[in-house]
Structure 1
């Protein structure tokens, strides 16, 4: 600071060169501004006042600029208010200064005041600044007024103004208006190009965004990091690994490898389109990693890897000296499977001063409820001094995990005790879930009444919960009544999905047709629901009809819908059509498509073809998921390929660093039991990292029956009956058959008699055919 004072003294207080003209004053203020020295700037401003420059607009404008750039907009605004006379520069400075200090409302108010009291038109900087304020606040209506005014005074084609307006239209989804404005610009700068690429990407038009990036490259416009980030977002939409790799090459050629935000976006792109190997290699070779880099890989690992792998990665992260933030803790709390692990994480959050963050509280409540420690979760909830609505929602949802009446009691407490905090759509949906899980239809109707009074009866999320609940109890009249005056596509989807889930096939078809009759078009969710119904009812003719609708509506490029089409054809017996649809979708980088096709082949006994599809997937950049291994292990089970099945099961951990899921263990036990490796199957059940469930014991018992292993079968039956006393009739029948097929009629009939004595009846068989 002393050096600065000396510099000021030397330059501006030497004989014959004191602060007595506007140029010297400006130079002094610029020096303080360059050094970001508020104290020095304030002292210079005081000297300016003593010298009588208070009425000089030029000097006062420079003082405003100095205060703003030194981080004291309060002083800048006070000085502006005290100015006896202002010009266009004064107003422009105060509008842009308000933006810099994130006081966007004040920026817009200042613009309105300028228009009201002054007689000059705003310049491009004032218009551009106020448009930035509109973008920041989401006030599109005010932005449209500014755009109209820009057209009126002939400024809409100015690059600075045009770029700001483009950002507004593209950011808030009006891509057509953005296109028209962009085409009217004679020489768009990089900011305009970026606005278009970002707008297309944000609105989901990945191919259009890629085309704009290609045009930028062709025209020789120098890209910056924002262009490349938008380009990577476009790759995420299209799942275009080739273009993503080209952008990666461009990043290297342009020397952006040291830009961490860009490298993080690149890692995120690779992970999200399934190119995990590329992402890991890039992460490991990065010279600098910030907290966002680690959060990205931790988040992905939590989805595809086991707890041990994520814990090891978190340990590596902590060794770097970086401190975890809220996002890091959110990821790790979701991975906690035991209370002790959660308590250790909370201890770390406490030491880092994050203990009072409401998001940490939510994570803790969620984790303890998931670990079936609801009493502890409630203690945390009760200890929060100022509970947010998210805290209430998380606790109600936690109670719902065990179909607990406490969820309804807590909702009643929220509704009855707070005048300021009102439930939102998430609260109402959780409360409705609690009603229908605990068979409280009457309470559900009462909450429905509260929903109507609160104005949430037209909310798609709440509507969906109501419809699903009413349909579950067969109260279809109530479901239909919800749609008398609000037939939007979300509600249509909720109704059709609920009908499909509850098995009301004909009603689902009727409403699907009615939707089209009303002039609306089904979305991917509705088409997927109807196709899932085709799969469950093996209705081939209906599947073909819906498939034609998929083509007409342009959803043949949608991965979710295409996967549902393959599943519908496969389960309806038309494996040839399923195969054609799958091979036509080779441009999609989607694991679910491969899984569906593998399972379709496996169910039809085409094991060789199923394994070919698995090999095809491995040859791409996609990594198999746990669901993939369910499909291939099922194929091995059908074909008796025990050695291959064992090898595939081992590869889950060895090659892909994942923990086998319960379904993976179930498939392995089924494979071994079907093929007579019963001792090994029993060993797998006993060595699993989680408790067995009825279905896995049933697979084992069926294997014992097929291969005549009476002793093992009886042993397995005892464990099944001990762990799950409320067994199905089928379990007793299998055990009885094990005795009878071994010639032990006495014990076989005894098991049947026990079943009758307990009042357990075998369900009557049934079949149906689509006519």
Structure 2
């Protein structure tokens, strides 16, 4: 081929106009009949992404060799068009062209990407027939990779053992397969058998993804030491994986040390990994600082950057709203994952932000199941529960398939509403959708039946899954018995959890402490609290102290509750103090209650709970001036009592109402009936003897 034609091909890459011009030049001067020249033009078209033009040239070529076929097959597999590549491969064999190692390697790569195991087996048979399995390391490695990507790790191991001299690609493909199926033991066993000189970033980066649990932190440090020993500490892919692994193992300081060690060679994945680590470990301030630092660099942020930082904004409304503005400025608001992160952020904010989440959902064009579930969760947690039930019905009528997360959320709303009939219908729907045995759906069913007073049904649901060692289900059952005042049964279940090696978590202790509180088991509850860290290796949180304060308060031990709060290693949060305030009110400790209330008013001046509790307490003590003073402060600060709501289930419809509510279309008839019932009660109270002897039929017809 003429040198100037080769030069034209090199310079015309990525430009269709230049490539077409070079192609025309080759035709004009008669070079295109040369198969070598045609192959070069064909390859240039494919490298520039113009597969259609390449195929047109391929069809027009008077002579084709194996390189011609391989070039086209490679182009289609690289573009993810395996079916086109397979048709070409079939034609290649039909026209008598011999497939070689490159043909099989490229086909197997396409099969691996598409996870088309049935085609991979056919290629493997042809490889064996052609004698490429053992003596061609590239084909052998491609076979290992294909089986590994299709999660047929035993077949991958068999293919690996057939290679006479496996190289680093072969080893990495095999290890990667066991990483994909999360077989930690085998993956690291193979790693131990691998020659040190073969180890590279393709070896370590996949292995590090397995080390995502605090229990594996020591193994992670050993791998880190190996990386340092081999001088691979500046390999960006390894460092990025290392940052993620240390964060997943809970060691954010080690993650930050690796991150800082990269200096100016960090890429966006490095920043995103560190951001995600801070977010996972709830180091929100650190995440914000890192995000601002990233914005000062010249690195362009992406979708993953925003989804990571938005997950840290659950308590920072101003920063979250500022990020929302930045998302709009970047034109990312219609990216589903980013909008989902924004929706989830807004539902973590106070209830007044729920409308922002709904507005985002309504304007999002490409809603997915996460979008629906996020709003459903928000309505279940923040909105009226009946709205969550209605929203679930909208989800059911959409084209999106309902999952276990949606069932769990709506069942929790049924729990809050205590709507047994509706809960049973959703239970039937969950069974029909094969989610009844899902641990999260089952736990929600347990809570729903418990709150609806049908503890027997809750127990039946629990029995179906208790053998699976589902911590979530055990916790729900303990809490269910706690709510029914069966504290000893809850303690027995806790003992069974320990004996059966079911993993305990923070929720377990919250549930069992609640059980002790509701059943007056003071000594047992305090022993559990004090044994959490030394015996069970779980550090008590504020919710555990709140449950213990409630336990002591219900038992009338207000001073002991005060001593417990003063001995807390954590600063008492509003939940602990509100619980203590309730205990003080129940025990008539007005002076102590006033001190706690003043502290609460400093922490949450806009929360109505403290004002209302103080007001009621002063009413009970007939301290009218103090009560008037509280009302005055509420008025000055614009704090209003949030009205309580009641609801009733009538023919599968939940009707919610509050005092003097007239929004119901049948409110006139309802109030007339209430007046009649009130008069009946007064009438019967005025004549106890008649009331005692009255027949139910007489009452119904009176």
* TM-score scaled by length of structure 2: 0.69
- Counterpart residue number, 1:280: 256
Paired with 2:506 and 2:24, the residues of 1 have a C-alpha distance of: 72
**Contact 2:132 2:139 (C-alpha < 8 Å) held by counterparts:** yes
1:213 to 191, 194, 214: 191
- Counterpart residue number, 1:325: 302
**Contact 2:8 2:22 (C-alpha < 8 Å) held by counterparts:** no
- Counterpart residue number, 2:277: 300
- Show CA shifts across 1:270-327 (max 9, x none): 1111112212233233313333333333333334447555433432332334343222
Paired with 1:147 and 1:93, the residues of 2 have a C-alpha distance of: 21
**Contact 2:336 2:367 (C-alpha < 8 Å) held by counterparts:** yes
- Counterpart residue number, 1:125: 102
**Contact 2:314 2:346 (C-alpha < 8 Å) held by counterparts:** no
The 5-angstrom pairing of residues 97-112 of structure 1 reads: 97-112=75-90
1:473 aligns with 2:420: yes
2:383 to 402, 411, 418: 402
**Contact 2:368 2:400 (C-alpha < 8 Å) held by counterparts:** yes
1:533 to 468, 477, 484: 477
**Contact 1:201 1:234 (C-alpha < 8 Å) held by counterparts:** yes
- Show CA shifts across 1:523-562 (max 9, x none): 443x6514652575444666666766x5xxxxx5x7x468
Paired with 2:626 and 2:332, the residues of 1 have a C-alpha distance of: 54
2:268 to 283, 291, 304: 291
Change (3 A) 1:414 1:304: closer
Change (3 A) 1:432 1:294: closer
- Counterpart residue number, 1:56: 34
Change (3 A) 1:561 1:143: farther
Paired with 2:480 and 2:390, the residues of 1 have a C-alpha distance of: 38
* Superposed displacement of residue 430, structure 1: 5.2
* Secondary structure of the structure 1 residue equivalent to 2:209: helix
1:649 aligns with 2:570: yes
2:182 to 190, 198, 204: 204
The 5-angstrom pairing of residues 345-384 of structure 1 reads: 345-368=323-346, 372-373=352-353, 375-376=355-356
- Show CA shifts across 1:12-58 (max 9, x none): xxxxxxx5xxxx66x96389549958687766654543443433333
* Secondary structure of the structure 2 residue equivalent to 1:145: helix
Paired with 1:220 and 1:144, the residues of 2 have a C-alpha distance of: 32
- Counterpart residue number, 2:71: 93
1:499 aligns with 2:475: no
**Contact 1:166 1:182 (C-alpha < 8 Å) held by counterparts:** yes
- Counterpart residue number, 1:684: 599
**Contact 1:29 1:41 (C-alpha < 8 Å) held by counterparts:** no
* Secondary structure of the structure 2 residue equivalent to 1:129: helix
- Counterpart residue number, 2:165: 187
Paired with 2:250 and 2:615, the residues of 1 have a C-alpha distance of: 35
- Counterpart residue number, 1:4: none
1:160 aligns with 2:138: yes
**Contact 1:201 1:209 (C-alpha < 8 Å) held by counterparts:** yes
* Superposed displacement of residue 229, structure 1: 1.0
Gap regions ≥5 residues in structure 2: 482-487, 517-521, 553-559, 647-680, 683-702
Does 270-279 or 312-321 show the bigger shift?
Answer: 312-321
* Secondary structure of the structure 1 residue equivalent to 2:263: coil
* Superposed displacement of residue 481, structure 1: 5.7
1:604 aligns with 2:526: yes
Change (3 A) 1:196 1:701: farther
The 5-angstrom pairing of residues 142-181 of structure 1 reads: 142-157=119-134, 158-181=136-159
1:141 to 113, 118, 122: 118
Change (3 A) 1:713 1:244: farther
* Superposed displacement of residue 244, structure 1: 0.9
**Contact 2:342 2:357 (C-alpha < 8 Å) held by counterparts:** yes
* Superposed displacement of residue 402, structure 1: 1.1
Change (3 A) 1:672 1:545: closer
Change (3 A) 1:144 1:569: farther
- Show CA shifts across 1:560-584 (max 9, x none): 46888999999999xxxxxxxxxxx
Paired with 2:331 and 2:430, the residues of 1 have a C-alpha distance of: 49
- Counterpart residue number, 1:270: 246
Change (3 A) 1:563 1:162: farther
**Contact 2:549 2:580 (C-alpha < 8 Å) held by counterparts:** no
Paired with 1:233 and 1:436, the residues of 2 have a C-alpha distance of: 34
Paired with 1:696 and 1:611, the residues of 2 have a C-alpha distance of: 36
**Contact 1:405 1:434 (C-alpha < 8 Å) held by counterparts:** no
Paired with 1:52 and 1:72, the residues of 2 have a C-alpha distance of: 23
- Counterpart residue number, 2:221: 245
**Contact 2:213 2:248 (C-alpha < 8 Å) held by counterparts:** no
Paired with 2:392 and 2:515, the residues of 1 have a C-alpha distance of: 44
Gap regions ≥5 residues in structure 1: 1-18, 440-467, 516-520, 551-555, 574-599, 618-623, 651-659, 729-755, 758-771
- Counterpart residue number, 1:236: 212
- Counterpart residue number, 2:402: 425
Change (3 A) 1:271 1:404: same
Instruction: Let me know the Cα RMSD of the aligned residues.
Output: 5.3
Paired with 2:174 and 2:358, the residues of 1 have a C-alpha distance of: 49
Change (3 A) 1:141 1:473: farther
The 5-angstrom pairing of residues 344-743 of structure 1 reads: 344-368=322-346, 372-373=352-353, 375-376=355-356, 386-389=365-368, 401-403=382-384, 422-425=399-402, 437=413, 473=420, 490=437, 494-495=441-442, 498-499=445-446, 501-503=448-450, 506-507=456-457, 510=460, 522-525=467-470, 528-530=472-474, 532-533=476-477, 537=481, 538-539=488-489, 550=500, 556=501, 560=503, 603-605=525-527, 609=531, 612=534, 628-631=541-544, 645=566, 648-649=569-570, 662-663=574-575, 681-689=596-604, 692=607, 723=641, 726=644
**Contact 1:636 1:642 (C-alpha < 8 Å) held by counterparts:** no
* Superposed displacement of residue 228, structure 1: 0.8
Paired with 2:154 and 2:418, the residues of 1 have a C-alpha distance of: 40
Paired with 2:424 and 2:223, the residues of 1 have a C-alpha distance of: 55
- Counterpart residue number, 1:78: 56
**Contact 1:531 1:568 (C-alpha < 8 Å) held by counterparts:** yes
* TM-score scaled by length of structure 1: 0.63
* Superposed displacement of residue 72, structure 1: 4.3
- Show CA shifts across 1:438-466 (max 9, x none): x7xxxxxxxxxxxxxxxxxxxxxxxxxxx
**Contact 1:432 1:469 (C-alpha < 8 Å) held by counterparts:** no
Change (3 A) 1:523 1:186: farther
* Superposed displacement of residue 485, structure 1: 7.9
* Superposed displacement of residue 101, structure 1: 3.9
* Superposed displacement of residue 171, structure 1: 2.9
* Superposed displacement of residue 393, structure 1: 6.5
